[in-house]
């Protein structure tokens, strides 16, 4: 088997230019492509891919950023839990900086609240063993990509009979918000670039219903510039040939069925919620997961229900992150982008997350993709 350099070969300017040339030759109609995942948005911006494409191709940014879609009231849950000196709240990455209604986990930590940012879910076990007199609450976030890690942590906690770890589950699913966006009719979307890491776990099969319902091609793409450019070419060819299919460009990691062992582990401990409120989008039925009732003793939402706020809270009135997540606006449409709203002082979650569209525009020159 020929050796492949997954950085050099998939960022080759020669390959990228060759694909760009083929796209220009073959595209004959405007195609609005939503890249669902924020990781794809950052690749598009970082490598200037839009500038290589003809005007017929327009990128629309989607809701595939788990930090961006987290509503303020869920952040307020974590903040409320951290107020009790007997609790330690642990979470991943950018979530610590996302603004709630009045504060953020980062600001609360600066005030002395016991909040820890972990690099992997299993770090929570170390924290629990080092603090046996504290309640350790893991604020779990992410799409299908990170859900198996939370499930594996639950399994470990069960096997080791660790009694001071609780879970606040905020795992969400890709297909339901995509369907909600399409059903709203607000955004004109002709095709999708499907998230790659999500698909490694859930399989490309999860997009078939989207193709069947809306007759929109879905190409599951890797995160390198060659991956995205090749996926655009595949979408164009689907339109030329009158096809509407799910295709797997990222075949080096994704298959149709996904990781069944991971899926089984998730299904062992979690099930869909009847409804979940997405930041800026609204309530979407069966779009998120929760712990099954038999694990209620681990469920922070039940164990600490008496201190958790329940009222939905809207975003800052100047923030248009919700419209960006729905594909009806872009960061440069926001009046406060890059002025009142920056990564250092974010008004909305799209500027906080390393996968957020606003963060991508800000980091890579505040360029308008035209």
Distance between CA atoms of residues 284 and 177, nearest Å = 7
Q: Whole-angstrom Cα distance, residue 368 to residue 338?
A: 13
Burial string for 91-119 (b: 16+ CB within 10 Å, else e) reads bbbbbbbbbbbebbbbbbbeeebbbbbbe
Distance CA 174, CA 266 (A): 15
Residue partners of 257: CB distance under 8 A and separation at least 6: 203, 205
- Residue in the block written with tokens 């509503």: 71
Q: What are phi and psi of 169, to 5 degrees?
A: -85, 125
Is residue 54 within 8 Å of residue 261, measured between CB atoms?
no
Contact 349, 356 (CB under 8 A): yes
Residue 307 CA to residue 84 CA, distance in Å, equals: 10
Task: List the pLDDT tens digit at each of the 370 positions of the chain.
Answer: 467 777 788 999 999 999 999 999 999 999 999 999 999 999 999 999 999 999 999 999 999 999 999 999 999 999 999 999 999 999 988 899 988 999 999 999 999 999 999 999 999 999 999 999 999 999 999 999 999 999 999 999 999 999 999 999 999 999 999 999 999 999 999 999 999 999 999 999 999 999 999 999 999 999 999 999 999 999 999 999 999 999 999 999 999 999 999 999 999 999 999 999 998 889 999 999 999 999 999 999 999 999 999 888 888 888 999 999 999 999 999 999 999 999 988 888 899 888 899 999 999 964 443 3
* Local structure of 305: helix, strand or coil: helix
pLDDT given at position 1: 43
Question: Other CB atoms closer than 10 Å to residue 51's CB: what's the count?
Answer: 11
| Three-state secondary-structure class, residue 264 | helix
Q: Quick one: pLDDT at residue 203? A: 98
- Which pTM does this prediction carry? 0.94
Please provide the DSSP assignment of 76-113 as one string: HHHHHHHTSTTEEEEEEGGGGG---SS--HHHHHHTT-
Give the domain ranges of the chain: 16-312, 321-361
Rounded to whole angstroms, the Cα distance separating 18 from 143 reads 34
Is 165 within 8 Å of 124 (Cβ atoms)? yes
Query: What is the C-alpha to C-alpha distance for residues 166 and 354, in angstroms, rounded to an integer?
Result: 27
The whole-number pLDDT of residue 7 equals 78
Q: Which residues touch 164 (CB under 8 Å, ≥6 apart)?
A: 128, 131, 132, 134, 135, 136
- Tokens coding 68: 């961006």
Q: How far apart are CA 116 and CA 93, in angstroms?
A: 10
Fold of 16-312: Rossmann fold (3.40.50)
**Sign of the C-alpha dihedral, residues 108, 109, 114, 116?**
positive
- State how far Cα 280 lies from the chain centre: 14
């Amino acid at each position: 088997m020929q050796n492949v350099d997954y950085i050099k070969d998939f960022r080759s300017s020669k390959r990228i230019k060759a694909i760009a040339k083929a796209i220009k030759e073959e595209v004959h109609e405007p195609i609005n492509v939503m890249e669902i995942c924020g990781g794809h948005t950052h690749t598009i911006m970082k490598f200037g891919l839009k500038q290589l494409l003809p005007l017929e191709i327009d990128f629309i940014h989607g809701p595939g950023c788990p930090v961006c879609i987290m509503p303020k009231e869920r952040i307020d849950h974590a903040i409320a839990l951290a107020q009790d000196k007997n609790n330690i709240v642990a979470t991943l990455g950018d979530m610590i900086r996302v603004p709630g209604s009045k504060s953020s986990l980062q600001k609360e930590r600066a005030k002395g609240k016991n909040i820890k940012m972990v690099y992997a879910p299993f770090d929570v076990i170390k924290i629990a063993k080092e603090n046996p007199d504290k309640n350790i609450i893991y604020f779990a976030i992410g799409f299908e990509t990170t859900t198996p890690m939370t499930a594996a942590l639950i399994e470990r906690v069960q096997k080791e009979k660790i009694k001071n770890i609780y879970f606040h589950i905020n795992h969400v699913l890709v297909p339901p918000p995509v369907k909600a966006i399409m059903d709203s009719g607000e955004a004109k979307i002709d095709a999708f670039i499907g998230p790659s890491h999500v698909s490694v776990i859930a399989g490309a099969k999860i997009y078939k219903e989207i193709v069947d319902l809306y007759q929109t091609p879905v190409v599951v793409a890797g995160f390198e510039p060659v991956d995205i450019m090749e996926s655009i070419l595949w979408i164009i060819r689907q339109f030329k040939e009158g096809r509407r299919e799910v295709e797997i460009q990222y075949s080096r990691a994704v298959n149709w069925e996904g990781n069944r062992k991971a899926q089984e582990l998730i299904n062992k401990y979690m099930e869909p919620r009847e409804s979940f409120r997405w930041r800026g989008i609204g309530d979407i039925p069966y779009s998120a997961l929760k712990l099954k009732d038999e694990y209620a003793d681990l469920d922070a939402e039940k164990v600490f229900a008496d201190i958790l706020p329940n009222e939905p809270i809207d975003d800052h009135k100047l923030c248009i992150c919700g419209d960006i997540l729905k594909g009806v606006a872009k960061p440069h449409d926001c009046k406060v982008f890059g002025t009142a709203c920056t990564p250092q002082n974010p008004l909305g979650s799209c500027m906080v997350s390393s996968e957020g569209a606003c963060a991508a525009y800000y980091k890579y020159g505040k360029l308008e993709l035209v």
